[in-house]
Chain A
């Protein structure tokens, strides 16, 4: 059993990064996730593991520092919150286009615009459908607890390097700010320069040795036929990710008549909702997508064959519900319930919405 601590989600991101052998963090302060960099700066990992931490002049600079360091084959990351992620969108598109592994943490707050600093899930579309320009996908993980904030950092790097693709942890202010008991992972050493060469030497810009061609980190290809080939390669990769990396948690779905679909903080709320609903005699289950891309389409399709309806519960105006509807494809009703602007729905209001919209009592 690893070390037990009571920590905030944001603090855990920092701690997990140090422990999993991350080489660098580049970020810019924004509420509600500033504790990530604050924790790192307090921990001084450069003395301990050699991990570098740098406060950049903007989110634009941070993501481009990530681009540089990721292109050097290192395990690097940034974190921000919604408006900052919008600023990073261009850089994220470049990272996807140059097929660079990295971790981007979005501790979401309510929008649009400057919005609010309170928790939200309104960046679902931005995270799962691209966000920046061009046809690309991020692997998107949605933690629902402080423990998962810890666990998903290492997992993100594993997936990022497996597919040479940026990974996003899509969290929110509630999970970032709350403290829970967390079991920390043991330390993994950072890769040595030799290991970096072994893992990424075929593509990373780490200095050209005479025995090989140049490694060039670029997303540019002016010849359309070649650029189309690049895109076909990306799409094949995303397809492979869709086939192999779907993760979800099903709670009380086996006998359920109705399924709540919710991720992150909303899923925590819904866990209580199913208790309330079952106390009233309604057979309700929760399907919690852990990967938002790839989305658990097949599992929802399977459930749609035997349940009476789905309620997508989100802290936004109804974004994931579109993916649920695509999966259900009209077989049974799919409704949405959510709150916006930084409000987290309470378990009982979700229960009422479920009765009103689906159960009909």
Chain B
């Protein structure tokens, strides 16, 4: 046994380091379920903040939902917003601190149901903020009820016979709506179920923060995500389920890439 321990100590050396936790992540143990996508996205945001050297200038706004405690994990100053109001809270912060980096982090219920108005109007104003949207097609924290993005036929606690459009309406493609708004600079949909996907999402989030630095308008990053606890299937099956059922309806890729519309072009002649 002693020999094994010694061998391990020989391996733990800076020159052998291939990966380490971002210094912008705290040491707190995450409360997320094994297999949940939130932890990965938190890690990506922390890495981007670290790599851009903006830890002292970044303020996060966490939602109500599973990621309500995001402030426990990313080592920056935070506001914990009321359900759905993160974009309004982020607007308030950004307006009085225009040179800080401000981002909101919301789930599908928060961003696309109770907070739809705040979401649409923050983007429509072209607030220079980053909005991260985790779409896992279910309400995780309250125990697996229907979300605005729940798939047709998907079983949840409040759609026990599957989402019925006649009863519950359609899954909401809010990101497509967001992409139509002139205040949006960059709108993209990504995922984090593979190493390659994580890389792409990180690139997207980095780009979103850079857009904020250049005050080009709202940068909106949707991450199609899994909730194996809520879906009641294993993490591995969840990834497959997401790819099979969600990706066709929520296709990955950029929906808008540029900057907010030129107001001069829209101004009426008076």
Contacts and interface: CB of A to CB of B under 8 A. Distances in A.
Q: Do chains A and B touch in the complex (CB under 8 A)?
A: yes
A68 B71 contact: no
14 contacts: A26-B92, A64-B85, A64-B88, A65-B92, A66-B92, A68-B61, A71-B79, A207-B77, A208-B56, A208-B76, A209-B56, A216-B71, A216-B78, A217-B78
Interface residues of A, number: 40
Contacts of B88: 56, 60-62, 64-65, 67-68
A62 B92 CA distance: 9
Given A69-B96, A205-B59, A207-B77, 10 more contacts: A60-B85, A70-B92, A72-B59, A204-B77, A205-B93, A207-B58, A208-B75, A210-B55, A214-B78, A215-B77
Nearest to A75: B96
Interface string A88-101: 00110010001000
Contacts of B77: 204-208, 214-216
Given A54-B91, A69-B95, A220-B68, A208 B55 contact: yes
Interface of B: 55-59, 61, 68, 71, 75-82, 85, 88-97, 100, 117-118, 121
Nearest to B86: A64
A109 interface: no
Given A205-B59, A207-B56, A217 B80 contact: yes
B76 A68 contact: no
Nearest to B59: A205
Interface in A271-330: none
Contact of A216 (B58, B80, B93, B117): B80
A76 B118 contact: no
B267 to A, nearest CB: 18
B93 A71 contact: yes
Contact of B92 (A24, A98, A206): A24
B80 A218 contact: yes
Nearest to A215: B77
Those 7 A-B pairs whose CB atoms lie nearest each other, nearest first: A68-B92, A65-B92, A218-B80, A64-B88, A68-B89, A205-B77, A69-B92
Residue in A68, A69, A98, A216 whose Cβ sees the most chain B Cβ within 10 Å = A68
Interface of A: 23-24, 26, 52, 54, 56-58, 60-62, 64-72, 74, 76, 90-91, 94, 98, 204-210, 214-220
A216 B75 CA distance: 10
A217 B82 contact: no
A52 B96 contact: yes
B95 A214 contact: no
A313 B165 CA distance: 55
A72 B80 contact: no
Contacts of B56: 207-210
B68 A52 contact: no
A144 B2 CA distance: 82
Contact of A205 (B68, B78, B82, B121): B78
A79 to B, nearest CB: 15
B97 A64 contact: no
A67 B75 contact: no
Contact of A61 (B78, B79, B80, B117): B117
A56 B90 CA distance: 13
Nearest to B95: A52
Given A64-B82, A68-B61, A216-B71, A24 B95 contact: yes
Given A68-B61, A216-B77, A217-B78, A74 B85 contact: no
Of listed B75, B78, B93, residue having the most chain A CB within 10 A: B93
Contacts of A62: 88
A45 B133 CA distance: 34
A214 B77 CA distance: 5
B111 to A, nearest CB: 14
Nearest to A71: B79
